[in-house]
Amino acid sequence: MRRRIEFGYWLLFFFVSRFCPCSAFYLPGLAPVSFCEVGKGDSDCQTQIELFVNRLDSVESVLPYEYDVFDFCKDEKEKRPSENLGQVLFGERIESSPYKFNFKQDVKCKAVCTKTYKKDSQQDATRLDFIKMGMQLNYQHHWIIDNMPVTWCYEVEDNQKYCNPGFPIGCLVTSDGRPKDACVINAEFNKKKTFYVFNHVDIKIFYHNGAADGWAGARLVAATLEPKSINHADEKTPNCESTAPMEVPSQFNNDVSIVYTYSVTFEENNLIKWASRWDYILVSMPHTNIQWFSIMNSLVIVLFLSGMVAMIMLRTLHKDIARYNQVDQENLIKLPSTKAKSTPFYEDAQEESGWKQVHGDVFRPPRKGMLLSIFLGQGTQIFIMTFITLFLACLGFLSPANRGALMTCAVVLWVLLGTPAGYVSARLYKTFGGEKWKTNVLLTALLCPGIVFADFFLMNLILWVEGSSAAIPFGTLVAILALWFGISVPLTFIGAYFGFKKPAIEQPVRTNQIPRQIPEQSFFTKPIPGIVMGGILPFGCIFIQLFFILNSIWSHQMYYMFGFLFLVFIILLITCSEATILLCYFHLCAEDYHWWWRSFLTSGFTAVYLFIYAVHYFFSKLQIIGAASTFLYFGYTMIMVLIFFLFTGTIGFFACFWFVNKIYSVVKVD
């Protein structure tokens, strides 16, 4: 990741230094901040370090919650940094906390606040029950210092060190005495049907001194913590050396007081540079070998398909065209038309080039041509958006350090790419002979985005009812609608105007007035088996990468391997194109000329395998419980499946469209 980010910085630095009269340039939110000791600071060097808190989430629930929903210590002068659109859509809710430190001033066992719950108070009982629910579902804190996560690092299998960007509220020992989740780290957590609150944290902040590098102050390069459960006997003089854990019984029979404390230490580490300060988190996720295995697996599939397509294009197809043209020139001119068709040589050529027999019907407009053109227009919009987003992510502009940038970039690009969607849809609809251009434009602008928005709005209602922080505020929904109807829809109309103004796409052969009868098809050349088989190979290229993407979305793991993702994106384009071309050729050889919808559905069927894999992932990998979380998971999955269906279907269609135009344009037809 560090190399990708540095490459992006160097690319920006080159253009800025060549063409801009400014002295420095940084991406928003990624500028380094210098810190100095108290009394030595100035406007360019801060002395106080603020700790911000983000939403709390869990792998056992899709519902995240704001920090304030739980009864934790709050900042008296609470402030919220400005959040971009991507952060709001992802449900991030960053706010200030009462944990504030002065640079290089170690603190030992400082009390933050005390939360007391009276057994006779229904309100206190509700608050404590909510915290218990968070511990039972293993909800995780997410703290931020200097725009980087405060991590909890611990050893896992094979002495590997894993740095988790979150840490749990607490843990639970079940009624049968089994410690659950983080309770396994301490043998003192052994009382049945008891919750243990992590009410103390030991924070260690690492900094890089700038004296040797020629800049004032120091820059923070890492922040780690260790959560502990401590039962402080005296609230005014807390004792962090105590080994007695803070117990919260499952039955609320007595008053409960929880004292929250922290300790902080500073340590100089000049070996870590500010530009590579995320590496210690990412290195603990050893996925590189698996990614290379995925790439090699995908390349084998691509090489196989490429060989098949090359064989068709260079041998079989070339021979078909050559033989037909030879028959056309040597036999048809010399013999009467009635005898020419009975010539054995012509019959052989006719049998060997079955795809040639449907030249008069292959460009016959498809049924439901308007719907197909609408899907292709939206698919084009999604394809261009995905390509530009992944390309920028590869340069490091959309790294995890730039929070919400990935989603913001995708949404803004989609809004601005309404013009190609309208143009492609209108041009193809005109080619299909359609005349209801107003309906075509309106449906292109509203149909697929409307389905996505309706699903998204329904999911948002559930989040709102559940009180989750992921619920989108009403003002943001209005802003999204304004972007859609104020920018995307007018741009779609503009694109459609130019699309209808252009002449229809010229076909290389004429279409007969009477449709040709399609002969009886074998099982493998029937529409449904061909479509089902067409999605297998593209899905085989992406399923490993899909696992990490789903982990990032639902298991709250960081995704940063955009280089691998962009490479898999290119492989997916090639695989969808080649698989669709192969099946299209086989169907044309069987004299089945209904290729328009079939080419779209062949590669688009990959989305069905995506949905099947998402169902498998839900039941085998996730621990999600509750009807609301289940409904949300499948609701958001359906949005992903629809977008992927339009994306892959569009790739397959245009690859097949190019192939069919190519082979029929080189054949001489009377």
Count of residues for the chain? 670
Q: Residue 323: what pLDDT?
A: 64
Residue (of 487, 404, 435, 438) closest to 89 by Cα position: 404
- Provide the whole-model pTM: 0.84
Q: Residue 327: what pLDDT?
A: 58
CA distance 85 to 643: 20
For the residues 632-647, what does the mean pLDDT come to?
95
Bridge partner residues of 148 (DSSP): 145
Residue 8: band (very low, low, confident or very high) from pLDDT cuts 50, 70, 90:
very low
State the residue for tokens 């049998």.
Answer: 351
Contact 34, 218 (CB under 8 A): yes
Q: Where are the beta strands (DSSP E) in 165-238?
A: 167-168, 170-173, 179-180, 194-197, 200-209, 218-228
Q: Residue 143: what pLDDT?
A: 94
Residue 629: pLDDT above 50? yes
Q: Residue 85: what pLDDT?
A: 86
473: alpha, beta or left? (left if phi > 0; alpha if psi -120 to 50)? beta
CA distance 172 to 191: 9
Measuring CA to CA, how many Å separate 561 from each of 3, 33, 41, 287, 566? Answer: 12, 26, 38, 9, 9
CA distance 144 to 297: 38
| Token pair in block for residue 599 | 């080419």
Average pLDDT, the chain: 83
pLDDT digits 0-9 by tens, 288-318: 556 666 677 777 777 777 777 777 666 666 6
CA distance 141 to 343: 81
Q: Residue 37: what pLDDT?
A: 87
For the residues 131-158, what does the mean pLDDT come to?
89
- Per DSSP, 484 falls in state I
Residue 27: band (very low, low, confident or very high) from pLDDT cuts 50, 70, 90:
very low
For the residues 461-475, what does the mean pLDDT come to?
90
DSSP secondary structure letters along 273-341: -GGGTTHHHHTTS--HHHHHHHHHHHHHHHHHHHHHHHHIIIIIHHHHHHHHHHHHHHTTTTS-HHHHT
Q: Residue 630: what pLDDT?
A: 92
Q: Residue 283: what pLDDT?
A: 73
Q: Are strands 200-209 and 256-268 parallel, antiparallel or unpaired?
A: parallel
Bridge partner residues of 51 (DSSP): 145
Q: Residue 509: what pLDDT?
A: 84
pLDDT digits 0-9 by tens, 579-603: 899 888 888 888 888 899 999 999 9
For the residues 546-567, what does the mean pLDDT come to?
83
CA distance 13 to 8: 8
- Per DSSP, 472 falls in state P
Q: Residue 159: what pLDDT?
A: 72
For the residues 318-340, what does the mean pLDDT come to?
56
CA distance 667 to 422: 33
Q: Residue 186: what pLDDT?
A: 81
Q: Residue 524: what pLDDT?
A: 75
Burial of 592 (0-12, 13-18, 19+ CB in 10 A): buried
Residue 498: band (very low, low, confident or very high) from pLDDT cuts 50, 70, 90:
very high
Residue 80: pLDDT above 90? no
Domain boundaries, given as residue ranges, for the chain: 33-285, 287-349+530-670, 367-506
CA distance 549 to 434: 40
Q: How many CB atoms lie within 10 A of CB 593?
A: 21
Percent helix / strand / coil, the chain, rounded to 5: 50, 15, 35
The three-class DSSP label of residue 155 is strand
Positive or negative torsion for Cα 272, 277, 282, 284: positive
Query: What do you get for the CA distance between the two ends of the chain, in Å?
Result: 59
Positive or negative torsion for Cα 375, 377, 383, 385: negative
Q: Residue 83: what pLDDT?
A: 81
Residue 495: band (very low, low, confident or very high) from pLDDT cuts 50, 70, 90:
very high
pLDDT digits 0-9 by tens, 437-460: 999 999 999 999 999 999 999 999
Measuring CA to CA, how many Å separate 92 from each of 58, 95, 254, 550? Answer: 14, 10, 36, 18
Per-residue three-class SS string for 488-543 = HHHHHHHHHHHHHHCCCCCCCCCCCCCCCCCCCCCHHHCHHHHHHHHCHHHHHHHH
Contact 196, 189 (CB under 8 A): yes
CA distance 434 to 403: 45
Task: State which of 146-160, 367-381, 503-517 shows the largest mean pLDDT.
Answer: 367-381
CA distance 316 to 321: 9
- Per DSSP, 46 falls in state B
Residue 351: pLDDT above 50? no
pLDDT digits 0-9 by tens, 180-231: 888 888 888 888 889 999 999 999 999 998 877 777 789 999 999 999 999 8
CA distance 53 to 68: 10
Q: Residue 324: what pLDDT?
A: 62
Least confident of 53-62, 241-250, 493-502: 241-250
The three-class DSSP label of residue 179 is strand
Contact 549, 559 (CB under 8 A): yes
Residue 328: band (very low, low, confident or very high) from pLDDT cuts 50, 70, 90:
low
Kindly give, in sequence order, each residue whose CB lies less than 8 Å from that of residue 567, ignoring residues fewer than 6 positions away: 295
Q: Residue 41: what pLDDT?
A: 66
Positive or negative torsion for Cα 231, 237, 240, 242: negative
Residue 372: band (very low, low, confident or very high) from pLDDT cuts 50, 70, 90:
very high
- Per DSSP, 250 falls in state S
Q: Where are the beta strands (DSSP E) in 440-489?
A: none
Residue 319: band (very low, low, confident or very high) from pLDDT cuts 50, 70, 90:
low
Contact 378, 484 (CB under 8 A): no
Residue 342: band (very low, low, confident or very high) from pLDDT cuts 50, 70, 90:
very low
Q: Residue 273: what pLDDT?
A: 87
Residue (of 529, 524, 534, 525) closest to 605 by Cα position: 534
Q: Are strands 194-197 and 152-155 parallel, antiparallel or unpaired?
A: unpaired
